[in-house]
Amino acid sequence: MTLDIKAIIVRSRIAVIGLASILALAGCATPPPASDEEAMAAFKEANDPLEPLNRYLFEVNRGLDNLVLRPIAEVYRGALPDHARNSVRSLINNMETPNIFLHDILQGEIERASDSFGRLVTNTALGPLGLNDVAAGDNPKMPEAGIPFHNEDLGQTLAVWGMGSGPYLMLPVLGPSNVRDALGSAVNFYINPINYAVRQDNRFWFSATRQVVRTIDSRSRNIESFDEIERGAIDFYATVRSLYRQYRASEIANGRGPANPLPEMSEELEEDNEAERVSSVTK
């Protein structure tokens, strides 16, 4: 029950990967024959024409995770007490908040924009400097009292503006993405206000450092849940692909409405009149 999927997905905000070079490298998945409509529908639903290449990169990323990211995340978790790690996360989140505010506005989300603005002011002034998320309240007895962190980025704004996700992509090192989100991350480097807080020649490293810290911090919070998902999955690649999609859909929907409704044609749920019990165990 402790699946915190949020940060399992190592997201990218500094995609500097040339999309074109990936596409050029790509081997393509073979679509099923057009006569098999169900198979064709499933192929389109997966929306993963680069699957063979993506699967290969997924394995490379898993290797890197095992060799580098996970050990660092374990040391980080072991060395720092919880409140210190929370400070690291608050600081990184606070630096990201001007960008989030901007995207709240671009998406026409006035209430969420005012939340972001309030969080920025409160945490910068009283945090202090964003070192504590005082705006969120962090009171387990009254979790609804504060204003919790929410994330926005260019990928989400483009989605709200009506841009489709494009095919699924597995970016080397950076992890799961899609054409829209990868493009969004790359371009957002130039939009993010905090990047203009440092001199131009330091900008790339400033952004990259924030991303690395964020990645280590979120990995450290998901070591066990990630293991559980990996152990339970039959096709781990397909599971992560589905998790990434649903996670982004839910972020884009800002938690409103059914971001991922069960397909209503799910006649499987209705098929027969037998009792729902599978096993014969009784109390």
Partner 1 sequence: MNVHRRELIRRIGLIVGTLLLAAFLFPAIADAKSKGRPLEPGEATALIKTLGDAAVAMLSDKKLGQVEKIRRFRHLLNESFALKGIARFALGRYWRRADSLQRRRYLKLFEDYIVNSYAARFGNYAGEQFIVSSERIDERGGAVVTTRIQRPGGDPVKVLWHLRERQGAVRIVDVMVEGISMSLTQRSDFAASVRTAGGNLDAFLDTLEAKVRNIKPSG
- Residue 23 or 259 with smaller CB distance to partner 1: 259
CB neighbour class for 64 (10 Å; exposed up to 12, middle 13-18, buried from 19): middle
Q: How far is the CB of 263 from partner 1 (least distance, A)?
A: 8
Interface residue list for partner 1 (CB under 8 A): 1-6, 38, 42, 46, 82, 140, 143, 221, 224, 228, 231-235, 237-239, 241-243, 246-247, 249-251, 253, 255, 259-260, 262, 266-271, 273-279, 281-283
How many other CB atoms sit within 10 Å of the CB of residue 120? 21
- Residue 14 or 96 with smaller CB distance to partner 1: 96
- Residue 124 or 239 with smaller CB distance to partner 1: 239
Q: How far is the CB of 235 from partner 1 (least distance, A)?
A: 4
Q: How far is the CB of 250 from partner 1 (least distance, A)?
A: 3
Rounded Cα–Cα distance for residues 53 and 172 (Å): 11
- Residue 64 or 249 with smaller CB distance to partner 1: 249
Q: Which of 89, 64, 88, 73 is nearest to 225 (CA)?
A: 73
- Residue 201 or 271 with smaller CB distance to partner 1: 271
Q: How far is the CB of 270 from partner 1 (least distance, A)?
A: 5
Q: How far is the CB of 139 from partner 1 (least distance, A)?
A: 11
Q: How far is the CB of 39 from partner 1 (least distance, A)?
A: 8
- Residue 208 or 233 with smaller CB distance to partner 1: 233
